[in-house]
Structure 1
């Protein structure tokens, strides 16, 4: 996965070098994350978290562009009270996972004020919450691969966005057992500002 991330970063740098300075913008963003881990061991429903980070907008013509981002992204979850936790989960019912998320979005502007976005997101787990999982090393994978879909309003230098991302079925965050199918889901709402 590190090689894929480095390859994407190198490709974006080469692409950024080929577009004019007027087609490259940098900014900061922050907002709310409504996230959940979908699986038989977890309560259904979204929990409040936060996200914050930086983004770049790389124009590829009048309507198209690429928007790579680096975000701190928090997912909170609750374990069902009535499950038999066994050796996998301890008796604590709440926990959170902090990810360094790297989405690479394809932007399409049907109008100057509106941008539609879609693309892959790779998440690197920064903590393993030992109050939720007894063996933090093995319970969650160190990475998560998801698909993002969303829209953004362009209000001068300000951006207002909403996004939904879902972990892909073949990249589950569970490393515990094949019977526990856990996938990450998030709804993100936030604001950004172009600083350069």
Structure 2
């Protein structure tokens, strides 16, 4: 009898501990914050640019507000570097701006502020669908082989972001696609230039 009571006590304790761990794993705190870093594979669409993605980096910080068990908002502030290479087409309407140099490239540094909707998908709350708008402010533009000193890119843009976020107890990782909605051509209206990017990152959440 004593051995039976001991076995029941051990089994009950193990069950409570397992259930407690399960609740802890599935529980979402109302407020969390963290940081992340990763790759920003981007391109600028338009006749003046070569096709294909250019590989740069991104760094950022974020906050999470989990208003319901499977729903929340995630605002972020990210430093994002993008780059592009101009085409060699002599018929390009902007050829007179870039034709004299051996490197026809540009590098753009943005501060981006996305506000994303987080929706948990599947039985676990660890995998989240993210979608929302992003505002990007251009803080620096460097253009090789430019004949004049004027800026050729607009100072701000709007984008739409969609992707997946995997939230482990401490580590977060994810992938997103960013579609530029704004024309960033600051020269004239003869061509439309828009940013596109695939972003892959890893970080920590507290």
Alignment equivalent of 2:75, drawn from 60, 68, 81: 68
> Once superposed, which parts of structure 1, at least 4 consecutive aligned residues long, lie more than 2 Å away?
82-92, 132-138
Q: How many residues align?
A: 173
Preserved CA contact (<8 Å) 1:51 1:72? yes
- Aligned twin of 2:46: 39
- The CA distance in 1 between the partners of 2:87 and 2:54, in whole Å, is 14
When the two structures are superposed, what TM-score results if normalisation uses the length of structure 1?
Answer: 0.82
- The CA distance in 1 between the partners of 2:58 and 2:188, in whole Å, is 29
Is residue 124 from structure 1 mapped to residue 144 from structure 2 by the alignment?
Answer: no
- The CA distance in 2 between the partners of 1:134 and 1:127, in whole Å, is 18
- Aligned twin of 1:164: 177
Q: After superposition, where does 1:46-195 map in structure 2 within 5 Å?
A: 46-83=53-90, 84=92, 85-89=94-98, 91=101, 92-110=103-121, 111-131=124-144, 133-135=146-148, 137-168=150-181, 171-195=182-206
Preserved CA contact (<8 Å) 1:133 1:139? no
Preserved CA contact (<8 Å) 1:28 1:194? yes
Segments of structure 1 that go 5 or more residues without pairing to the other structure are: 1-21
Q: Which structure has the greater CA radius of gyration?
A: 2
CA root-mean-square deviation: 1.8
Taking a change above 3 Å as real, the CA distance of residues 154 and 97 of structure 1, as seen in their structure-2 partners, is same
1:47-85 CA distance string (max 9 Å, x none):
100000100011111011000000000111111122444
Shift of 1:112: 1.4
2:141 partner SS: coil
Taking a change above 3 Å as real, the CA distance of residues 109 and 125 of structure 1, as seen in their structure-2 partners, is same
When the two structures are superposed, what TM-score results if normalisation uses the length of structure 2?
Answer: 0.78
- The CA distance in 2 between the partners of 1:133 and 1:25, in whole Å, is 45
Segments of structure 2 that go 5 or more residues without pairing to the other structure are: 1-28
